[in-house]
Amino acid sequence: MKGLGSEKMMGESKPKPEKAKLMIDARGVTHEYSRRDAEGNVMGIIQAVDGVDLQVTPGEFVAVLGANGSGKSTLAKHINALLVPTEGTLYVDGKDTGNQENVLAIRQLAGMVFQNPDNQIVSNVVEEDVGFGPENIGVPSEKILERVEESLKSVGMYEYRKQSPNRLSGGQKQRVAIAGIMAMHPRCIVLDEATSMLDPSGRKNVLDTVRKLNREEGITVVLITHYMEEAVEADRIFVMRQGKVALSGTPREVFGKPEILEACRVELPDITKIGLGLRRAGLDIPKVVLTEEELLSCVTGSGAFPEKA
Amino acid sequence: MIRDITIGQYYSVDSTIHRLDPRVKILGTLAYMISLFTFRDFAGYAVAVLFFALVLALSKVPFSYAARGLKPIFILMAFTAFLNLFWTDGTVFFRVGALAVTWEGLYKMIYISLRLILLVLGSSLMTLTTTPNQLTDGLERIFGPLKVFRVPVHEMAMMMSIALRFIPILIEETNRIMKAQTARGADFESGNLLQRLRNMLPLLIPLFVSAIRRATDLALAMDARCYHGGAGRTKMYPLRYRVNDFVAYGCLVAYIVILRAVVWVCPW
């Protein structure tokens, strides 16, 4: 890894004009690894990701769903060039992740928030942790201070800047992690089950922060999650099964196919389930209800009906 | 709370000494400690104690707080004092059974104890007035020139600061595992030393596994944030010498000059 960073990409990277049409462009991405037994003999080859095609446009909010072992985390690590496809290619903002020279540029463009809040914080002071990324890409000191301030404010953690991360709650830690990525001025954030270790209020805080960044700063979001409620508000959903994209579309399209979802061991959102139950019981309710308001308006008969899927 | 522990017991207060560049404090402490080995005269100790008192006053750290550092080395001090008192050849002036106390022994005991006390007080004053982060930064800069000889200075500093970050987390984890194993019938309290050590295994193995897992996670997260070693890296708060730091170096030199002069002039 050492010495890869060409000085050109280091330092200030201004938001570029739309160079590439797609933020993320995966073409037939396959990732294989061999499983070994205790003696190190190859037991078999596993295709964690198997020929995935996936396109995300800049500013999009995309959710990736799937059961454990469906390959969604492996796919996520490809977007940050932590893993490189064994077959196929993945472009982030037009840059091939397979090309070693692009790695640092890609990691700066597409930040990644991991599952465990404790294990991704490097420093024992909040603001110094946020400064870690900019320090790595060689941003001048005064600019780092600016960036740290601005990104801590954007996640609402500015007043904690001098504290130790050990004193923060899980949700706060994840917001610090997001700030650490925002300070690198990325165009895309990948959240790899970043809310799975949080309590409901922490989860809500983190998601609100992510949505705000998506809406206000046009950051592309790839949200990998177990929670259907989080996926409901995405622009598009990809459902993975055994390394392949089994289903994709808008939340309304995806949650309108409960049979395929069941095969993928992905559940429907609670509200959708309730809606389906009521529909079976004979109420006039569309097949896919995604939010509480929708369901309420259907039940009470007031308000606009969502289009029937 | 266990998560409140700070390594090196940083005493959080704003003072002239706290604001000094960590390099000044590290090099100053080192020079002070070396200076303590250059004399045996009581006049010299008077100068050294005076200098320490001056710095302590400037640092606004209460003496009782600074003296806490002496507690863990009390046994060592008592032991050295005892050895020096009874096992030094010279003119005997006092006898307890087979043990003889000599004038030379008495003298040696006093000055060695003084030296130990000042060594500990001096170094703990440094850790009391410098945050662990500043310390690692300072060390990285001081040893920076060693990079020419391929000493991984940056990597060592990074390891140190990560270790500091994870100590409270691992302590918390230890407690959690301990409780979990106690609930499963593990016994960490009874038995002789050997049994107790063996009983520690169900604690240590999960702890190591978890620490290694955390390390893997952290390495991945650091990679994802463009970490690629010390090359081309900038600092959010780069260390810069200010006027005060040069004044402090001046004071240090003055201390050494005065010390040498006093030791030279005074016969005792």
Helix (H) or strand (E) holding A191: strand A188-192
What are the chain B neighbours of A116 within 8 Å (beta carbons)?
214, 217
What the block records as the tokens of B234 is 């900038």
Q: Is A242 a domain residue?
A: yes
Asked if A276 and A189 sit in the same domain, the reply is: no
Determine the pLDDT at residue B257.
92
Q: Which residue of B has its CA nearest to A4?
A: B228
Asked if A63 and A209 sit in the same domain, the reply is: yes
What the block records as the tokens of B159 is 């390891």
What are the chain B neighbours of A118 within 8 Å (beta carbons)?
169, 214
Average pLDDT over residues B218-238: 88
Read off the pLDDT of residues B76-123 as tens digits, 9 standing for 90 and up: 888 888 888 877 777 777 777 777 788 888 888 888 888 989 998 898
Taking alpha carbons only, the member of B132, B117, B119, B131 closest to residue B17 is B131
Q: Do residues A51 and A29 make contact, with C-beta atoms less than 8 angstroms apart?
A: yes
Asked if pLDDT for residue A11 goes beyond 60, the answer is: no
Average pLDDT over residues A3-17: 44
Read off the pLDDT of residues A222-246 as tens digits, 9 standing for 90 and up: 999 988 888 988 999 999 998 889 9
**Whole-angstrom Cα distance, residue A127 to residue A43?**
46
Asked if A170 and A212 sit in the same domain, the reply is: yes
| Number of separate domains in chain A | 2
Q: Which residue of A has its CA nearest to B219?
A: A120
Which structural domain, as residue segments, surrounds residue A282? 270-300
A125/B contact by beta carbon, under 8 A:
yes
Instruction: Inspect the interface and report whether the beta carbons of A2 and B228 lie closer than 8 Å.
Output: yes
Interface of A with B in 99-118 (CB under 8 A): 104, 107-108, 111-112, 114, 116, 118
B227/A contact by beta carbon, under 8 A:
yes
B170/A contact by beta carbon, under 8 A:
no
B225/A contact by beta carbon, under 8 A:
yes
Question: How many helices, marked H, and strands, marked E, lie in chain B?
Answer: 11, 2
CB nearest B236 (choices: A2, A124, A145): A145
Give me the residue spans of the domains in chain B: 2-142+239-265, 151-224
> Which among A12, A124, A145, A162 is the top mutation candidate for probing chain B, defined by the most B β-carbons within 10 Å of its own β-carbon?
A124
Asked if A147 and A278 sit in the same domain, the reply is: no
Q: Which residue of A has its CA nearest to B236?
A: A141
Asked if pLDDT for residue A303 goes beyond 80, the answer is: no
Q: Is A275 a domain residue?
A: yes
Predicted-complex ipTM score: 0.82
- Over the range B50-81, which residues count as b (16 or more CB within 10 Å of their CB) and which as e? ebbeebbebbebeeeebeebeeeeeeeeeebb
Q: Is A264 a domain residue?
A: no
Q: Is A168 a domain residue?
A: yes
Interface of A with B in 151-210 (CB under 8 A): 165-167, 180-181, 184
Read off the pLDDT of residues A133-152 as tens digits, 9 standing for 90 and up: 999 999 999 999 999 999 99
DSSP A101: G
Helix (H) or strand (E) holding B94: strand B92-96
CB nearest B236 (choices: A112, A135, A181): A135
Asked if A186 and A290 sit in the same domain, the reply is: no
Asked if pLDDT for residue A18 goes beyond 70, the answer is: no
Asked if pLDDT for residue A284 goes beyond 90, the answer is: no
Determine the pLDDT at residue B8.
53
What are the chain A neighbours of B238 within 8 Å (beta carbons)?
141
Three-class SS state of A278? helix
B150/A contact by beta carbon, under 8 A:
no
CA B237 to centroid of chain Cα atoms:
24
Sheet of strand A24-36, all strands in order from the earlier edge strand to the far edge: A42-56, A24-36, A87-92, A95-96
State the nearest Cα–Cα gap between B227 and chain A, in angstroms. 5
One-letter identity of residue A46: I
Asked if A144 and A239 sit in the same domain, the reply is: yes
Least confident of A115-129, A130-144, B61-75: B61-75
Beta-bridged to residue A49, according to DSSP, are A31
State the nearest Cα–Cα gap between A3 and chain B, in angstroms. 7
What the block records as the tokens of B6 is 């700070």
**Whole-angstrom Cα distance, residue A164 to residue A174?**
14
Q: Check which CATH number belongs to the domain holding A113 and give it.
A: 3.40.50.300
Read off the pLDDT of residues A163-204 as tens digits, 9 standing for 90 and up: 888 889 999 999 999 999 999 999 999 999 998 888 888 888
